[in-house]
Chain A
Amino acid sequence: MDGGLYAAPRTIMNNYTFPIWTNFIKYGVGVVLAVVPLYAVALLYYTGSPRTTDVGYGPQQPIPYSHALHAGELGIDCRYCHNTVEKSAKAAIPPAQTCMNCHSMIRTESPKLIALRESFNTGMPIEWVRVHDLPDYVYFDHSAHVNRGVGCVSCHQRVDQMDLVFQAEPLSMGWCLDCHRNPEANLRPLDKITAMDWVPEEDPIELGKRLRIEYNINPPTDCSTCHR
C-alpha cells in the first residue's frame, strides 16, 4: 500500500490509536536527553563563572588613584573618604573637596590630578567608573552591615593592597546568602570594621558566635530584605 504516513484510512478506531508520526517522538526524546544535560552544565558553568559575575573587574579610572598608597601606605581610614558608610545605604564616593583637603597642599602641580583640580574649580563632578555594581533590583545597605560587625574587607578584600580597585568577590546572590546564613565567619568587633589586616586572636568562629549574640544579629534571608 502506498500513501506515506497518513495512508491508513481514518476510522473511528484510529482515533484511539496513536498516529504513526508519534513513532518519531522517541528519537526526539533521545535528542532532548542528550542536549538538556549539556545545556544545564553549560548554563551553570556560564552563570557561575567569574567572567559572568565580573570577579576581577577593575576598570581604569579618570584619576589614577591608588588605594594601596592612601589606605595602605598612608593608613588613612576608609571612613575618611567614604564617610557616609555608617549612615547611608551608600558608601559615597568622596567629593573633590575631600581630596583637596590634602591635595591643596600636597602635589598641587601633579599632572595626574588635573581632573581633580578641574572638578574642584568648576564644580563639575569627576566621573568615576563603578566597580562594585549590583543589579538595580538589589537594595544593599552599607550602614546595616558596618554597624553590625561586618568589616569592609569581608566584601571588598584587601583594598589597601590594590593600586587599581577591582571586584574581588562574586557579589552574587548565593554569595550574599552564604554569609546571611552563616555570618559568624565574617563578624568582627565594631572598632575593627575598617581594619584591613586585622586577624582575630582566637578562633574566628568562636568570636563570631559571641559577637552574634552580643550584637543581636539575625540576618534575614527573606526576598524582601534586598529586593523591593
Chain B
Amino acid sequence: MSPVKRMAGLKKNPTNDKTYWRSLNELAETPGFREFVKNEFPNNAFAMLQGPSRRKFLQLMGASFAFAGLSGCRWPKETIVPYSKRPEHRTPGVPQQYTTVLDQGGVANGLLITSYDGRPIKVEGNPDHPMGTGAADAYTQAAILELYDPDRLKTPLLLEQATEKPVAEKSPVHLEKTWDDFAATLQEIKTLLSEAQGEGFYLLSELASSPSVEALRTQLATSSPKAKWLTYEPLNCDAERQATIAAFGAPHRIQYNLKNASVVVSLDCDFFATHPQSLQLTRDFMDGRSMPEQGMNRLYVAESRYSITGSMADHRLALRSQEIEQLVLHLAAAIAGKAGAALPESYVVVRNALQPFEKPDRHAEWIEALAQDLVDHIGKGAVLAGPGQSVRVHALVLWINEILGNLAQTVNYIPIPPDSLAAQPSVQSIRTLVQDAKEKKIKTLLILGGDPLYTAPADLDLATALAGVSIIHLTPYKNHTSLRSQWVLPRSHFLEAWGDGVAYDGTVSIAQPLIAPLYESRSALELLSMLLDETPRTGYAIVRRDATEADWKKWLYQGFIEAAPVKPVLPPVKPGVIATLVRERENSPIPFSKDRLEVTFQPDAKLYDGRYGNNAWLQELPDPQTKITWDNAALISPQTAAELKIQTGDLIEIRDAQGKALEIVAYVQPGQADYSIALTLGYGQVLPHLSVGNQVGFNTYRLRTSSESSIRTNLTIQPLGKTYPLACTQDHHAIDEVGLAAQRQRLGQIVQEKTLDEYLHPHDDHHGHPPVTLWKEHEYNGHKWGMAIDLNRCNGCNACVVACQAENNIPVVGKQDVMNGREMHWIRIDRYYKGEPEDPTIVHQPMNCSHCENAPCEQVCPVAATVHSSEGLNTMVYNRCVGTRYCSNNCPFKVRRFNFFNYHKNLSETEKMLHNPEVTVRSRGVMEKCTYCVQRIETAKIQAKNEGRSIQDGEVVPACAQTCPTKAITFGDLNDPNSQVAKAHQNHRAYFLLNELNLKARTAYMARIRNLNPRLEKHESGQHA
C-alpha cells in the first residue's frame, strides 16, 4: 500500500467505475465529512452563539422587537427628491449603460457599466469591443465594490513629523490634510523638475497601457530628462518579453487565436484565468468544443498546480514547474525530429540537452503522443508557456510554434515599442530603485498606485533601502507603502475618473467616469498634470486632447477607437538563439525530494497580486480549485503530504536555504505535482485600518526573490504541530447524504462525462427515462423559462458567482460563518474529482436553483412562501417566509440559503449605493435562492409589451449567463422551439439531475466530453473503464 492510501484510509470502490468525489475527506469518509453532510445547518445556529455572541444576538433580537413596536403602526415618512434640472436622456428608474475600460497589469478590457439613477451598480463586458466577448472576469466584476468601500482614502494624508526617532522604527502616524496643503510639496517637486532637470525625481508606476500616461511620460522625459520613470508589476510577462527580444531582437507580445486551433498545449500556463488575453482565449477555445459531433479541439496541459486550465485538459501531466523546461526540450526535439525542422544546429543542441525524466515511460509516451498530435495538425496547433517559466522555455515555445507552422494561423506577434512602459522589466526597476536609494540619488519618489513595499522581491529589501527617502504615494487605500510615505494621496476609482487604455490586441478605448469622485481623490493623470503642466489640466482635457465632437461621442458610445488592426508581424526566430539559450542551461538535474522541494508563486484567483485584498466579494469567493475562502494555503500533493506527515489544516514552515521562513497552512491538493508546493500571492497584509483585508491569510511575498520570482527550488518544510482553521466550502451543500456507494452511483448521474469516442459510438442509452406520472401534468402555456449549463464549456472560473452577487444584492458573511456553512452565494460551482488522488480529473458543475417543476421545497413550506409561477419559476416570497428552513432541508440540490443574521444591517451608506434597486434586500430569518434573475425577466416582459411585440430569444439573460466567459449558460423560453435553450435541452448531451425523482428540473446539464488521444487512452483508462 502506498503511503497516501495509508494516510487517508482511502477505500476504492471496485464495483463502480464512476468514482467521483469532492474532497479527500469525502473519499476517505472521515467522520467530519459525515457530520457536515448529515446536518443541513451544521453547527446549529444557537450552539455557535455562546458567550458574548449569544448575548449580542439576544440584544439584537430585543432591539428588533422594540423597533417592531415603534414602527409597526405607521409607515415611515419618505421624501422624493427630483432633479432640479433633469439631465438629457435620463429617465428616473431606467438604468443606463456606459462603456469604459479597466486597466489591470497593463491590459485594458472593454467594459459596459450599468448605472441606476446615477449610481454605477454592475460591471459587464462590452460585447462590441473588438476583443470583447461581453464577458468580464471575477476581478473586474468585483472592482465596483471598491468604489463604495468605506475604507478608501478620503483625504490626502501627511506623515506626522517624527521628532527624534527615524520613521522606519516607529509606527507612523498620518494626519488628514487637504490638497491645498499638498501644494507646497508640489511646488518643491516642480522646482526640482525644472531647475535640476528632474535629477533625483523618481517615479514608480504600475504597468499602464494608457496612451495619455505615455504622453505625459514623454512630456516628463522632454522637460526633465534626468527624472526617472520606472514601472513595477509583481505579476508580469517579462519572461515572454525577454524571449521575444532574444528571438526577434525587439519586444513583442504574443497573441493567440484559438478559434482555429485543434491542438492546444499549455505549459504551466493558466490561460483561462490569469493570461492578459484570457477572456478571448477562453471563448475561442470553448467555441471549439461546444459541438463534439462536428469535431472538437484537444487540450494538453503540463503543470505543477492544478489550475482551471488543467481541469479542462483532455490530458494533463502533473509536472513540477522546474521540469517544464525539460519537457519543452523533449517536445522541441520530438517535433523538430518529426517535422524535419530546418534548424539543424538548434536541433542537435536540444537533443544533446535532453535528460531522462523521473517517470520515463509515462513522460516519454506523453511527449511522443503530443508531438505526433501537433505534427498531425500543422498550422492548427498552439503552444502556450506560462508567465512563471524561464526565458528559455518561452524561446523554445516560439521556436516550436514556428516549426509547426502556427504563425499567422494561431499565433501572432504584435510589436511593443521598445521604449514603452510595457517593455521595461519589472524586477529591474526595483533593483534600480534600491541601488539608487543606497547611493542617495533619490530625492523624491512618486509612487503611482500599487504597493511595492509589500510586493517587491524580499531579497532586495526595498523597505530598508527607501527608509530615508521622501515618498509620495497615490493610492486608493492606505497600504504598506503608504504607511512609509510622506504624503499619501487618494486615487480616484476607475469609475470616477477619465482615462484611457489599450487592449491586448492594441485597440484603444476611453475610460469615462460614471460618477463624480466620492472623496477628495485625483486620478494618476490629474496628479501628473499637476506636476508637469503650468496650469493643471482636467482628466477630461488630457484624455480628449483635440478629438472632434463627432469622433469623441462615437468613441464613448461604442467603447473603443476604431483603427486599422495592429498588423501582426511574423519574424522568424533568429538563428542560433535557441542553441545559445539551451547551451547556457545548467546541465545538472535537480533531484527533488521531501527535503528539496520546489515552491511556485502564482497569481491568486481572487486577490490577483493582493490589489483586491480589501474586496469582500473576492475574499469570500471560494477558490475555483481548493474552494478555500478568506485564506491562502500551501498546496501539497497527497504523496508529498504523506511523506512529510502533513494534513490539510496543519501549520507548516517553509524554509529556504538562506534560512528565510514562511509559516503557512497546508492544503493537500489532489493532482498537485509531487515535491512541488504552490503558493498564491496577495494575502497576509497587515493593515489594521482596513475592515476586510487586514491579516487575512499568509504573506507569501516573503519567500519571493528577485532571481526566483516564480519558481524557487531547494526548500524544506517543517510541520509546526499546530492547526489552523480553513473556511473551505468544498464539502458544503453536498447533494447526497446516502452512503458513499450509493452516492457514487448517483454522482455518476449528477456529473455525466464521456470520452468523445464513447459519445460518438454509444453502447447504451444513459439518458434514462423520467418516471411516468399518474395524474395530469401542469401545463405552461405562456413562457416556460429554462436554463442549460454546458459542462463541456464550464471551466469553473467563478465569474458567474460574482456576477450573481452583484446583481442580486447577496451579502458577505465572513470567515466564521463560511465555516458554519452559511455562505450566501446563490450559484456555487461544485468541483468533482475523478480517479486516483495523485492524478485525478476534474469536472466543474455550476449549481443554482434548478426550478424543478415538481419542487420538493414547495411541498414542505408551511406558509406557501415558495410557490410556482405560471411560467414555471420556483419563486421565493420573502415577505411570507417565516424561516422554518424546511425547504432547504428538502431541496435535493442544496441551493437554498438562509439569512442567519441581518447581514445588510451594518453596511455603510456608500455600500448601500451599490445595491441593485430591482432586487429586494433580504433581512434576517428569510430563505433565499436563485430566481433565474426574475427582475430581468419582468423588465424584458414589460419592455416588450410596451413596445407591442413578443420577447425575442436572447433578450432575457440572467447575470450569470451574461458574464460567463465560456458561454456555458444558456437561458430562454422552452416553449419557443427555436430558442437556444430549447435546442440545448434537446441536445443529445443534455440530462437532468435526479431525474428518477421526477423533479422535472428546468435546468439541463450537458455532459462533459473528453477528447482523448487514442495513443494515450490506455493511461486514462484507469480512470474511467
Is B931 positioned at the interface, with any CB of A under 8 Å from its CB?
yes
Give the nearest-CB partner of B920 in chain A.
A137
State whether B92 touches A224 (Cβ < 8 A). Answer: no
In the complex, per-residue mask of A120-148: 1 if CB is within 8 Å of any chain B CB, else 0:
10111111111001011101010110011
Once the chains bind, are B85 and A97 in contact (CB under 8 Å)? yes
Q: Known A92-B92, A147-B946; judge A223-B877 contact (CB<8 A).
A: yes
Closest to A124 in B: B84
Q: Select the stretch in A9-17, A26-34, A81-89, A157-165 that faces chain B.
A: A81-89
Given contacts A141-B942, A223-B875, contact A228 B935 (CB under 8 A): yes
- Given the complex of chains A and B, what is the CA–CA distance between A94 and B921 in angstroms? 28
B80:A93 contact, CB within 8 angstroms:
yes
- Which residue on chain A has the smallest CB distance to residue B943? A143
**Inter-chain contact B84/A88, CB cutoff 8 Å:** no
Give residues 77-135 of A contacting B (CB, 8 Å).
Answer: 84, 86-90, 92-97, 119-120, 122-130, 133, 135
Query: Given A92-B92, A96-B85, does the pair A136, B870 have CB atoms closer than 8 Å?
Result: no
A19 within 8 A of B: no
A225 within 8 A of B: yes
- Interface presence of B175 (CB below 8 A): no
Contact between chains at A130 and B84 (CB < 8 Å): no
Instruction: Determine whether A169 belongs to the interface, using a CB cutoff of 8 Å to chain B.
Output: no
Are B918 and A95 within 8 A (Cβ)?
no
- Interface members, chain B 758-804 (any A CB < 8 Å): 782
Out of B75, B782, B942, name the residue touching A143 (CB < 8 Å). B942
Query: What interface size band does chain B fall in?
Result: 35 or more
Contact B78 A88 (CB under 8 A): no
On chain B, the residues within 8 Å of A129 by CB distance are: 77-80
What are the residues of chain A within 8 A of B919 when measuring CB–CB? 228
Q: How far is the CB of B944 from chain A (nearest CB, A)?
A: 11
B585 to chain A, nearest CB (A): 62
Q: Tell me if B86 counts as interface (CB < 8 A to partner A).
A: yes
> Quick check: B946 and A125 within 8 Å, CB to CB?
no
Contact yes or no, B91 A92, CB < 8 A = yes
B121 to nearest A CB, angstroms? 15
Among A87, A136, A139, A221, the residue within 8 A (CB) of B91 is: A87
B91→A125 contact, CB < 8 A: no
A220 at the interface (CB under 8 A from B): yes
Is B938 interfacial (CB-CB < 8 Å)?
Answer: yes
A126 interface neighbour in B82, B867, B878, Cβ under 8 Å: B82
Q: Evaluate contact between B77 and A94: CB separation under 8 angstroms.
A: no
Known A59-B77, A84-B92, A87-B94: A144·B942 in contact at CB below 8 Å: yes
Instruction: Identify B875's interface contact among A124, A133, A148, A222, CB under 8 A.
Output: A222
Question: CA A96 – CA B921 in complex, angstroms?
Answer: 31
Tell me whether A224 and B82 are in contact (CB under 8 A): no
CB closest chain-B residue, reference A217: B945
- Check A125–B869 contact: CB distance below 8 A: no
Q: Taking the complex as formed, is B360 at the interface, i.e. its CB lies under 8 A from any CB of chain A?
A: no
Report the number of A-B residue pairs with Cβ-Cβ less than 8 Å: 124
Does residue B162 face the partner (Cβ distance < 8 Å to A)? Answer: no
Contact A119 B84, CB 8 Å, known A88-B91, A90-B93, A223-B875: yes
Known contacts A137-B878, A228-B935: A127-B81 contact under CB 8 Å: yes
CB neighbours (8 Å) of A221 from chain B are 870
How distant is A92 from chain B, measured CB to nearest CB, in Å?
Answer: 4
- In the complex, whether B1017 has a CB less than 8 A from a CB of chain A is no
A93 near B82 with CB under 8 A, answer yes
User: How many chain-A residues does the 8 Å CB contact rule pick out?
Assistant: 45
Complex Cα–Cα for A92 and B878 (A): 27
CB closest residue in chain B, given A46: B73
Closest to A84 in B: B91
Note all chain B residues with C-beta closer than 8 A to A89.
Answer: 93-94
Q: Is the CB–CB distance between A228 and B931 below 8 Å?
A: yes
Measured between beta carbons, the chain A residues less than 8 angstroms from B81 are 125-128
List the A side residues contacting B942 at CB < 8 Å. Answer: 141, 143-144
Q: Which residues of the other chain, B, contact A126 by a CB distance below 8 angstroms?
A: 81-82, 84
C-alpha spacing A93/B938, complex, angstroms: 24
Taken together as a complex, chains A and B put the C-alpha atoms of A160 and B877 apart, in Å, by: 37
B85 touches A130 (CB 8 A): no
Q: Does B82 lie within 8 Å of A125, measured CB to CB? A: yes
A96 engages B875 (CB within 8 Å): no
A223, B869: Cβ atoms closer than 8 Å: yes
**Shortest Cβ distance from residue A57 to the other chain B in the assembled complex, whole angstroms:** 9
B906 surroundings in chain A (CB, below 8 A): none
A95-B85 CB under 8 A given contacts A137-B878, A224-B931, A228-B918: yes
Residues of B within 8 A of A127 (CB): 79-81
Query: Roughly how many angstroms separate A124 CA and B877 CA in the complex, as a whole number?
Result: 38
Q: Are B920 and A227 in contact (CB under 8 A)?
A: yes
**Closest Cβ–Cβ distance, residue B917 to chain A (whole Å):** 9
- Contact between A128 and B80, CB atoms less than 8 A apart: yes
With A96-B85, A128-B80, A228-B931 already in contact, the answer to whether A54 and B75 are too (CB < 8 A) is yes
Q: Does B871 contact A (CB under 8 A)?
A: yes
Which partner residue on chain A sits nearest B73 by CB separation?
A: A52
Bound complex: CA of A88 vs CA of B942, how far in Å?
10
Q: In chain B, what residue has the closest Cβ to A94?
A: B82
B83 in the interface, Cβ–Cβ < 8 Å? yes
Q: Mark A53-72, 1 if CB is under 8 A from B, else 0.
A: 01000010000000000000
Contacts of B91 in A (CB 8 A): 84, 87-88, 92
- The minimal Cβ–Cβ distance linking B732 to chain A, given in whole angstroms, is 26
Does B873 sit at the interface, judged by CB under 8 A? yes
Per-residue interface assignment for chain B, residues 65 to 107, with 1 indicating a CB less than 8 Å from any chain A CB and 0 otherwise:
0000000010101111111111000011110000000000000
Most chain B beta carbons < 10 A, residue from A122, A124, A220: A220
Chain B contacts for A220, CB-based, 8 A: 869-870
Q: CB distance A92 to B82 under 8 Å?
A: yes
Which residues of chain A are near B945, meaning CB under 8 Å? Answer: 144, 147-148
- B934 contacts A by Cβ under 8 Å: yes
Q: Smallest distance from the beta carbon of B787 to chain A beta carbons, Å?
A: 16
Query: Is B879 engaged at the interface, CB distance under 8 Å to the other chain?
Result: yes
| Assembly CA distance A97 to B782 (angstroms) | 44
**Closest A residue to B874 using CB positions:** A224
- Shortest A38–chain B CB gap in Å is 19
Are B94 and A88 within 8 A (Cβ)? Answer: yes
Residue of B whose beta carbon sits closest to that of A121? B84
> Which residues on A sit within 8 Å (CB–CB) of B873?
222, 224
- Residues of chain B within 8 A of A228, CB atoms compared: 918-920, 931, 934-935, 938
Which residues from B are CB-within-8-Å of A119? 84
For B875, the chain A residues whose CB sits under 8 A away are: 222-224, 227
Q: How far is the CB of B605 from chain A (nearest CB, A)?
A: 31
Bound CA span A119–B85, Å: 9
Candidates A86, A137, A139; contact of B879 at CB < 8 Å: A137
Measured CB to CB, the closest approach of chain B to A37, in angstroms, equals 21
The answer on a CB contact under 8 Å between A227 and B878 is: yes
Partner of A123, one of B77, B84, B878: B84
Residue of chain A at shortest CB distance from B82: A93
- B931 near A130 with CB under 8 A, answer no
Structural contact, B93 and A222, CB atoms closer than 8 A: no
Shortest Cβ distance from residue A134 to the other chain B in the assembled complex, whole angstroms: 10
A88 in contact with B83 given A54-B75, A139-B935, A223-B877 (CB within 8 Å): no
Cβ contact within 8 Å between B79 and A136: no
A144 touches B869 (CB 8 A): no
**7 cross-chain pairs, A with B, having the tightest CB-CB distances, nearest first:** A222-B869, A90-B93, A125-B81, A88-B93, A95-B83, A130-B78, A93-B82
11 contacts between A and B (CB under 8 A): A54-B75, A84-B93, A84-B94, A87-B94, A88-B94, A90-B92, A92-B91, A95-B84, A97-B84, A128-B80, A227-B879
Residues of B that sit less than 8 Å from A by CB:
73, 75, 77-86, 91-94, 782, 867, 869-871, 873, 875, 877-879, 918-921, 931, 934-935, 937-938, 942, 945-946
Given contacts A92-B92, A93-B80, A133-B78, 9 further A-B contacts (CB under 8 A): A89-B93, A123-B84, A141-B942, A143-B942, A147-B945, A147-B946, A148-B945, A228-B934, A228-B938
| A→B interface (CB under 8 Å) | 52, 54, 59, 84, 86-90, 92-97, 119-120, 122-130, 133, 135-137, 139, 141, 143-144, 147-148, 218, 220-225, 227-228
